[in-house]
Amino acid sequence: MSTERVSAPGAPAFDLDGAWRLHPQASVRPESFGALLYHFGTRRLSFLKSPTLLAVVKVLDDHPTARAACRAAGVSDAELPSYRRALESLAVATMICERTTG
């Protein structure tokens, strides 16, 4: 997982109870360490340094919330804050985006 803190002071934290998905312009390439994410629009590259984080990203669109996707990927309550930060980093990098429901 990335340890980079991306939100500005006072900015709202990543919403684990929101619906998220992989950005349509982002591509995932699994690797032995996790995965590479490439955004074709921004030409930005991100590294997922955890197979579990890769599992979360892969199932985001299959679950009503990011929290549910984390649970489905086996993330424990104790691990949830670090996964929230990693997902927040991916959202700021536009690798994942909010999914509209309805």
Q: Look at residue 102 in the predicted model and tell me its pLDDT.
A: 52
Phi/psi region, residue 94 (left: phi>0; alpha: psi -120 to 50; beta: rest), is left
Specify whether the CB–CB gap between 16 and 98 falls below 8 A. Answer: no
Tracing tokens 């709202």 back to the chain, one arrives at 12
Q: Which domains does the chain have, with CATH numbers?
A: 20-97 (3.90.930)
Specify whether the CB–CB gap between 18 and 98 falls below 8 A. Answer: yes
Mean pLDDT, residues 9-37? 88
pLDDT tops 50 at residue 1 = no
pLDDT tops 80 at residue 90 = yes
The pLDDT tens digits of the residues spanning 36-74 come to 999 999 999 999 999 999 999 999 999 999 999 999 999
Q: Look at residue 66 in the predicted model and tell me its pLDDT.
A: 97
